């Protein structure tokens, strides 16, 4: 499969089969996160892997959607603001960018394994920190359910669900 085929195959799945995800596949996904690039190679991240049913229920309560409770595993991707690279010119913290790259590696690796994911950022962050005992300098960036999908998407969806290429490319200068 070409890279573009894999990227187009990934979608946000919100309906899961209630079957476990093999540890080998989970480790493949986590390895994809581990090797991701990061600003100044700081690797300012932690990945909390939740497999126990009881704990999946607990963490799902940070984002009340029926479908999330059915996830076979949940990975909470966290940023370590103590070690992330800050741009000297303006102090911009690159932790979110770094963790997001790792998350996207994971969504693509999961797709490669025939698994489904969905980025979740609209969750209750303080509640998540409380449930998972996350210390102050660590920020959960996204909740990523990992499961076998029960839903399907239109294979041609990128033709109508995305902007046209000429709308997003600026050649040489902005205008």
Ligand X SMILES: Cc1cc2nc3c(=O)[nH]c(=O)nc-3n(C[C@H](O)[C@H](O)[C@H](O)COP(=O)(O)O)c2cc1C
Binding residues for ligand X (CB under 6 A): 11-12, 118-122
Of 119, 171, 125, the closest CA to residue 143 belongs to 119
Per the DSSP assignment, residues forming a β-bridge with 116 are: 147
CB of residue 108 to ligand X, shortest distance in Å? 12
CB of residue 121 to ligand X, shortest distance in Å? 4
Q: How far apart are CA 110 and CA 147, in angstroms?
A: 9
Q: Is 79 helix (H, G, I), strand (E, B) or coil?
A: strand
Give whichever of 39 and 141 is closer to ligand X, judged by the CB atom.
141
Give whichever of 134 and 141 is closer to ligand X, judged by the CB atom.
141
CB of residue 83 to ligand X, shortest distance in Å? 22
Q: Do the Cβ atoms of 91 and 111 come closer than 8 Å?
A: no
DSSP result, 110-132: HHHTT-EE--B--S-HHHHHHHH
CB of residue 159 to ligand X, shortest distance in Å? 13
Give whichever of 22 and 158 is closer to ligand X, judged by the CB atom.
158
Q: How far apart are CA 141 and CA 156, in angstroms?
A: 30
Give whichever of 24 and 152 is closer to ligand X, judged by the CB atom.
152
The residue nearest ligand X at its CB is 122
């Amino acid at each position: 499969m070409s890279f573009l085929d894999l990227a187009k195959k990934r979608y946000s799945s919100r309906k899961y089969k209630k079957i476990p995800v093999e540890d080998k596949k989970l480790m493949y996904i986590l390895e994809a996160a581990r090797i991701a690039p990061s600003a100044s190679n700081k690797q300012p991240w932690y990945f909390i892997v939740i497999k126990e049913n009881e704990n999946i229920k607990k963490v799902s309560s940070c984002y009340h959607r029926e479908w999330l409770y059915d996830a076979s595993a949940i990975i909470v991707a966290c940023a370590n603001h103590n070690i992330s690279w800050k741009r000297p010119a303006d102090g911009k913290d690159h932790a979110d960018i770094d963790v997001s790259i790792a998350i996207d590696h994971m969504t693509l690796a999961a797709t490669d394994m025939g698994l489904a994911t969905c980025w979740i950022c609209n969750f209750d962050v303080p509640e998540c920190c409380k449930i998972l005992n996350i210390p102050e300098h660590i920020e959960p960036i996204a909740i990523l359910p990992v499961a076998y999908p029960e839903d399907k998407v239109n294979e041609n969806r990128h033709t109508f669900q995305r902007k046209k290429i000429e709308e997003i490319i600026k050649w040489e200068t902005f205008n």
